[in-house]
Structure 1
Amino acid sequence: MTKIKYTQNTDIKHIMKYFIAIIFVSFLGSCGTKTESQTEEQDNTTNLITLSKEQFDMGKIELGKIKKETFPEIVNTNGIFGVPPERKASVSAYFAGYVKDVNILEGEKVEKGQVLFTLENPDYINIQQNFLETKAQLKNLKSEYKRQEILYKENVSSKKSFLTAETNYLTTEAKYQSLRQQLKMMHLDPDNLTAKNIKTVINVISPIGGYLTDIRISNGIFLPPTDVALTIVNTDHLHLELSVYEKKLHNIIEGQEVRFSLLDQKDKEYKAEIIQVGKSIDPEKRTISVHSHLENDSLLSLFTVGMYVDARIYVSNDTLFALPNEAIVEVDGISYALLLDKYDNENKIFSFKNIKLKTGRKGEYFTEILNHNDFNDDSQFMINGAFNLIKD
């Protein structure tokens, strides 16, 4: 009896163990199913980023849609400010002399015909004296020439006498005209010159209006005709002279927009327009000169001849579907953006989805969206503020 009872107890224990094992496995299975469901629900929840209306307004967040934007093709170049040749003058003296009066300053504005400085030289007296003497001789020689001409025609005077009178008159006439022109170059009036107003000092006059640069003279120095005393630049026609490499030349045409900045003011940009493209290539640099005018002439006073600039020429424009650069966040080489999922008007809650984007060309302000067809025309994206929300 005892043996049979022991066997029955053993079987019961085995049955109980088996039953408990089945219950435990079932429990584990149910736990695993619940965890998987919870994970899926959690993923769907964490993919949404919510903001209250107050947070949205305080962050000055803006919404925007994918729309067509212009993507320009740009040629980067550089250049300097310059003026046409007729707007720049190197001033020297036709006649050597000692600088007597110079009362000008670098950068000073002068008008055409204004006295820049004076020169003094005793040789000026000789020119004026020769002119007055020649002028006096010419009057007598002309009279003698006319008289000999009449006598020769009447066969009263010989041909030799007539030719001598003619030669003397024409030679003196040539000398007179030469001296007359020299006086004009000295800015002396030959018609009003007399023995009583002969001058030892002459004026050097400004040939154009503009600004004085590179002044090289001072009182008392001797200035020969070969030396440049100063330079005058008229900035009324100040323009950009850009240098473009020949391999980019086929893209450059008149009328294209140019944006440029000064080397020490990279954050400030100005606009210009291509007016003329050069026709010859620099054999050493392999570049061509591109002439551009400022869009706003009132800004000319900000620049001066010789200033260097960095420039961009906008050679073409493509229209592509895009979002502002600020709306796109790149993480590990993948582009993301926040798409508005819904707005709970009752609780004033914005819900955004963190979605992947396929991007193309990136411009200065916009990035091309290659998968724009994946979204509706009414789809709205967070334009600013997405970076911190996605990164966090």
Structure 2
Amino acid sequence: MAAISLLGMVVVGQLYVAIPLLPDIARAWGVDQDAATWATSAYAVTYAVISLFSGGLARRFGTRNVLVAGVGALAVVTAFVPLAESFGAGLALRAGQGLFAGVYVPLVYAYLNAHIPAPKLPTALTIVSACMAGTIVVGQVESQVLAALVGWRGTFWVTVPLLVAGALVLHRVLSSVDPARTADAASGKGAGRRRLWGGLLPLYVVGLTCASTMTAVYTSVQLYGPPELVDDGRAMLTLRATAVPALVIGVLVAPLLGRIPARPRGAGAFTVAAAGICGTGLFGGTTTGLAASLFLFMLGLAAIGPAIVQEIGTAAGPANGVMAAALYGFTLNIGGGLGAQIPLAFGEVRGVGLFMSALLAGCVVLLVVTGRGRRTAPRA
């Protein structure tokens, strides 16, 4: 759990590390800040695409082997990102990062669903999900602090030895036993595919919406936030850091929330998150209003991921768990890539906040409506 969570923060954090670096990246690659947002989208798109193939790779080579190889290759590509001297080369290397990082989230969730006992699964998923979701905050804080100390290029280079060490630790601590491969070989695929694209489709929709909201809101704050915030690096750092306690609270209350069925738990968490994002639209003109709103959003976010992942893993079963998690990883990262472009359509924090809060409210309705009368099969 410790290895998966801590390394997940480094791997997934590479998606968000570019947000505070937008001014530096724009200058280095000769583009404006709006164009520089593609440094986030390029990573997210390839990350999402390779997620679709992570299930097949895991079945052929084993979950542990694919995870270790992916993290090791990510370390190599990350070392070359700061060497890019043009916009095109920079985007290609960021896309390369996403290509190798994309196997991480779906395979980790599938691994947990296969190896963690059912009574402990909600807490385990909450810890891992909170750590990886927290990278939207922690990744930005780390990026901003490191950029001030070692420059934007050094921010990427510092990550390289952490990824190498993480790959070695994963190889050491993860089990080579892969229940998903055994279950997959012994089961039919047709019914599993129908279940994935039918009953699980609403869960993928809400996952995509949540991921796009995270990236959209923080990108809009970086581009269009209050001048006293955007022009003051210390104030921006404080804003990002104030959301961290919300994730800690989410982990602490995980055992209590785990008693609530996954789908209603997810609907409640989306309600809290929607209220927080709505606050960014209503009170986004002030630093205090943004801080309070983002805290509430992250509080809801801490419970969203575990609930959705648990529901997907339970409904898909061990035979389809890896593929179901791969599809979920795909939607998350497509959402992250789309989210980086949404602020450009509004040009302000207020419009982004109100638009995304409406989408999150729609997720609540979707979870409630699709959950009525649905009986969840017992977890194998």
TM tier, smaller: under 0.3
Of structures 1 and 2, the larger Rg is shown by: 1
TM-score with structure 1 setting the length: 0.14
The structure in which a higher percent of residues are strand is: 1
TM-score norm. by structure 2 comes to 0.14
